[in-house]
Amino acid sequence: MHRVLVMREGDWMLDKAKSLMQPSLRSAVPPFMVMDVMAAAARLEAQGRHIVHMEVGQPAAGAPGPALAAARAALGRGPLGYTETLGITSLRRRIAQAYGERYGLDIDPQRVVVTTGSSAAFILAFLAAFEPGDRVAVALPGYPPYRHILTALGCEPVGIKTGPQTRWSITADSLLAEHGVRPLKGLVIASPANPTGTMMSAPALADLIRCAHSAGMIVISDEIYHGLDYAFAAHTAAGLSCEAIIVNSFSKYFCMTGWRIGWMVLPPALLRAVERLQQNLAISVPTLSQIAAEAAFDGRAELEQVKQGYEENRRTLLDGLPRTGLDTFLPADGAFYLYADVSRFCADSFAFATRMLDEAGVAVTPGIDFDPVRGNGFVRLCYAGAREDMREAVERIGHWLKG
Ligand SMILES: Cc1ncc(COP(=O)(O)O)c(C=O)c1O
């Protein structure tokens, strides 16, 4: 009798546990669709198909030689312990020095914080700068995790539509119009941007930051594609405001996606808050990656060659794709993306990308990932792959669209 009772109690506890085991409401963020396309492409490859990958935004090249050599040497030297929470001092100094080299700016290394990719930098920055419920402006189309991280943290991402009249960037006017609806606490800017590849001119960037600050907003500038600028040189928000939060990464220009390392340049007022958060959330950033990242700055010549490859790929696509019927793109100023208007071929970019993958063997990302409404008329093509793949893609897309 007693045993039966215990069993029943156990069942009840199990049922209770199951009912408690529901994902939280704030975890219900949309998936990052590009990862679904990648998985579908992998399934086709497992069946023996050759797929041209233009879906994921990552360099085909690996980390530069000096980074690899430094990592190998560090592995031979002995155990890798934790580092200071804000990052190894010499790396923070090296990053600060790079602001002098690239932009002629004098940045205090104390303001540099090393992070686990720029992805972790966004979590830290949003946590340090915003309260739950704060409204933060992001561009549409734009990089989806800005919106989804803000949502998961209880903030409200506010998508501001951009278009050709404003070169696909938020402007002071569009920002203030949204601020007038209900006050905004922050603004995320990216130039060059993902998925569009478009950049903001120095006056446009300065104007927007000035406007955001005078309306009391915190500005976060995602500069992960700096170094990959073709139309004109990218301008850092660090040169325009000491109050802006600058986010950057070793993933793109430095070809180190899998090393998961990035950084921020912070306004002094946020430093201690970010240090406390990172102490608790991560303790420190992977030591091997920090050592490799510092040495990556010595791989400039190699990295500039990789960049030259992107420029050639960009040219191949801009010259070749119009002949296939894909002839409308946003200004491809930087990064390694073409955002192509496919609205005359479809009203559903996910279905279009799925068919392109199945029938032409070319994997691209549906625009709906970046813009829940108008994204149905666009796909994003990443041109960070091999040169032969660009030619192959043009040929395959041409046959497919004409066939
Ligand atoms: C605009 C933008 N910001 C941030 C990231 C995150 O990169 P990571 O976490 O590798 O630094 C990406 C990755 O694709 C991106 O495109």
Ligand 1: nearest atom to the Cα of 122: 4
Strand order in the sheet with 365-366: 337-341, 378-382, 365-366
Whole-angstrom CA distances from 347 to 10, 351, 373 are 53, 9, 11
Contacts 24+ apart (CB under 8 A), 97-100: 98/297, 99/236, 99/238, 99/265
Q: Is the pLDDT of residue 190 over 90?
A: yes
Share of the chain residues as helix, strand and coil, in percent rounded to the nearest 5: 50, 15, 35
- In testing the pocket of ligand 1, which one of 118, 150, 228, 370 has its CB within 8 Å of the most ligand atoms? 118
CB 357 within 8 A of CB 36: no
**pLDDT tens for residues 145-174?**
999 999 999 999 999 999 999 999 999 999
d(CA 222, CA 366): 22
d(CA 363, CA 361): 7
**pLDDT tens for residues 306-348?**
999 999 999 999 999 999 999 999 999 999 999 999 999 999 9
Q: What is the DSSP string of 59-91?
A: -SS-S-HHHHHHHHHHHHH-------TT--HHH
- Burial of residue 268 (CB within 10 Å: 0-12, 13-18, 19+) is exposed
pLDDT at residue 318, rounded to an integer: 96
pLDDT at residue 9, rounded to an integer: 66
Separation of CA 230 and ligand 1 centre (Å): 19
Q: Which of 306, 123, 348, 133 is nearest to 220 (CA)?
A: 123
Residues at CB less than 6 angstroms from ligand 1: 57, 117-119, 143, 190, 194, 222, 224, 249, 251, 257, 262
Separation of CA 327 and ligand 1 centre (Å): 27
- In testing the pocket of ligand 1, which one of 119, 220, 225 has its CB within 8 Å of the most ligand atoms? 119
Q: Is the pLDDT of residue 4 over 50?
A: no
Separation of CA 90 and ligand 1 centre (Å): 24
d(CA 178, CA 225): 27
Separation of CA 118 and ligand 1 centre (Å): 6
- In testing the pocket of ligand 1, which one of 196, 224, 260, 370 has its CB within 8 Å of the most ligand atoms? 224
Query: From start to end of 116-251, where are the E strands?
Result: 135-140, 156-161, 186-190, 218-222, 245-249
CB 211 within 8 A of CB 175: yes
Whole-angstrom CA distances from 185 to 129, 130, 179, 321, 326 are 9, 7, 9, 41, 39
Separation of CA 144 and ligand 1 centre (Å): 10
Question: Would you tell me how many other CB atoms lie within 10 Å of the CB of residue 57?
Answer: 22
- pLDDT more than 90, % of the chain: 89
pTM: 0.93
CB 94 within 8 A of CB 66: no
- Burial of residue 343 (CB within 10 Å: 0-12, 13-18, 19+) is middle
d(CA 332, CA 339): 8
Q: Is the pLDDT of residue 373 over 90?
A: no
